[in-house]
Amino acid sequence: MSTSQQQIAQSSNTTSSDEGFARSTELLEQRGYEVHDEVQRAGSAHTGTPHTYDCHIKSYEVWFLNEEAMKWNSDPTYTRLPPFPVTVAKVVSFLEYEMNRLMKKHSRDEGSMEGTTVGRASIQAAISALEFIHGRDEHLYPNDPSTQKPLRRIAEFVFWDQHEKECPSLGEDVPGVESNWFFCSPVEHDSPQNKEWLGSSAVRPSNGWSELFHEELPNKEIRNDVTISGLFMLSYNLKHNQLGRLDEHGVIQHHCVELCPIGAIAMHFFALFHIQKISETNFEPDFSDNAKKAGHGLYGRCAWYDYKVFFASAIDKEMSYDKMYGASDILISKVTHAGRNYAAQKAHQNGVSVDDTKALGG
């Protein structure tokens, strides 16, 4: 074999070897991405993250296709772009639409709520979903520089779009009431409860009509001037209350009628006046000398101050715990007061959350 033929053979073998090496590397990288994807899916299989991401990605895809169709209809020479791969420019355009989109109704009625915009949490979820699919698929487009740019700085959209907030703290300093400062976020987070509120420590046989009150809670998620009506009840936890503290337990209206605690209380009073035909009370205060002698002060005294939410033989008589349990179909044959440490330990062993365990003294 001549020297030139040997050089050609060596060159051919080198080319073949390089192609095989590149192919093997490509297969190895592909398998690595598949394993990473499988592990990621398995880790989130028991959470709501996959469903949430799918909803946001589908919303992005539908919006992008409609947007490209509108551009093509207005200019037939326009070349429509595909929604994937996800790039920074596409995400920025989608977030501009998302931040100005009306909030959808969470009820049986379809449509949107006029005068609202989606909240910060929704925009954050959309960014996370698009960042997830951007990172997952970027290896499919190695020759497209636009797919290699990270989306992390796009999270600044959330802070640019958030509403101008008022002072979030509300103070309370009343004689006989422990001075506390409450922030809007914990109040909004803890307020939504279901009808368990009616069976909690907030509702006791001694609770009267005068201990129910109404308050408007701020809802910054929609807009600064939007509020939610809340129903609150004062509760005196006498056993562990050494400072005369007034506890306030509150709920807001639930969109499901069957789970709405405010609706349950309203139906209770409706039944008192219109079904059981309990005569309506006189709401005029008593300014007589007897009221002054009893120490009722300058504001007089009303008979309904003594009326109980859940009463026994008379509207001003407390219902016993046994009666309340029976009315709620709760059967208790034996009640044992466990020590604080023992109760907290048993509660923790049975899966009670850390916060609830601490409430037991643990």
How is residue 244 annotated by DSSP?
Answer: -
**Structure-block tokens of residue 58:** 């589908």
**Structure-block tokens of residue 350:** 């049975």
Amino acid at 283: F
CB 169 within 8 A of CB 183: yes
Q: From the CA atom positions of the chain, what is the Rg in Å?
A: 32
- For position 73, what pLDDT does the model report? 94
Place of tokens 């030139």: 4
CB 286 within 8 A of CB 296: yes
Q: Are residues 137 and 193 in the same domain?
A: no
- For position 180, what pLDDT does the model report? 43
Query: Is residue 352 situated within a structural domain?
Result: no
- For position 64, what pLDDT does the model report? 95
Query: How does pLDDT run across 96-129, given as a tens digit for each residue?
Result: 898 888 877 665 556 777 767 777 778 888 888 8
Q: Are residues 155 and 255 in the same domain?
A: no
Query: How far is it between the farthest Cα atoms of the chain?
Result: 132
Q: Are residues 220 and 262 in the same domain?
A: yes
Q: Helix 88-99 crosses helix 120-137 at what angle (to 10 degrees)? A: 160
Q: Which residues contact 22 (CB under 8 A, 6 or more apart)?
A: none
CB 230 within 8 A of CB 191: yes
Length of the chain measured in residues: 362
Q: Are residues 195 and 244 in the same domain?
A: yes
Q: Are residues 57 and 92 in the same domain?
A: yes
Q: Are residues 195 and 324 in the same domain?
A: yes
Query: How does pLDDT run across 36-56, given as a tens digit for each residue?
Result: 778 777 777 778 888 889 999
**Positive or negative, the Cα torsion across 310, 315, 321, 326?**
negative
* Domain edge (last residue) among 114, 143, 161: 161
Q: Are residues 109 and 173 in the same domain?
A: no
- For position 183, what pLDDT does the model report? 46
Query: Is residue 5 situated within a structural domain?
Result: no
- For position 65, what pLDDT does the model report? 95
Q: How far is CA 321 from the centre of its chain?
A: 33
Q: Are residues 262 and 314 in the same domain?
A: yes
In whole angstroms, what is the distance from residue 207 CA to residue 192 CA? 21
Q: Are residues 179 and 325 in the same domain?
A: yes
In whole angstroms, what is the distance from residue 83 CA to residue 91 CA? 10
Query: How does pLDDT run across 246-291, given as a tens digit for each residue?
Result: 777 788 888 788 778 888 888 888 888 888 877 666 677 777 777 6
Q: Are residues 137 and 80 in the same domain?
A: yes
- For position 181, what pLDDT does the model report? 42
Query: Is residue 196 situated within a structural domain?
Result: yes
How is residue 159 annotated by DSSP?
Answer: H
- For position 337, what pLDDT does the model report? 62
H helical segments located in the chain: 3-43, 49-74, 88-99, 120-137, 156-161, 184-190, 261-270, 289-293, 321-327, 340-349, 354-359
Q: Are residues 277 and 156 in the same domain?
A: no
Q: Are residues 144 and 190 in the same domain?
A: no
With a cut of 70, list the residues of the chain below it in pLDDT: 1-16, 105-110, 115, 152-205, 236-245, 279-282, 291-300, 328, 332-340, 359-362
Count the domains in the chain: 2
Q: Which residues contact 116 (CB under 8 A, 6 or more apart)?
A: 102, 103, 222, 223, 226
In whole angstroms, what is the distance from residue 118 CA to residue 136 CA? 27
Q: What is the pTM of this model?
A: 0.44
Query: Is residue 78 situated within a structural domain?
Result: yes
- For position 265, what pLDDT does the model report? 86
- For position 125, what pLDDT does the model report? 86
Query: Is residue 226 situated within a structural domain?
Result: yes
Can you give the residue range of the structural domain that contains 77?
A: 44-161
Helices (H) and strands (E) counted in the chain, each on its own, are 11, 5
Place of tokens 């640019």: 160
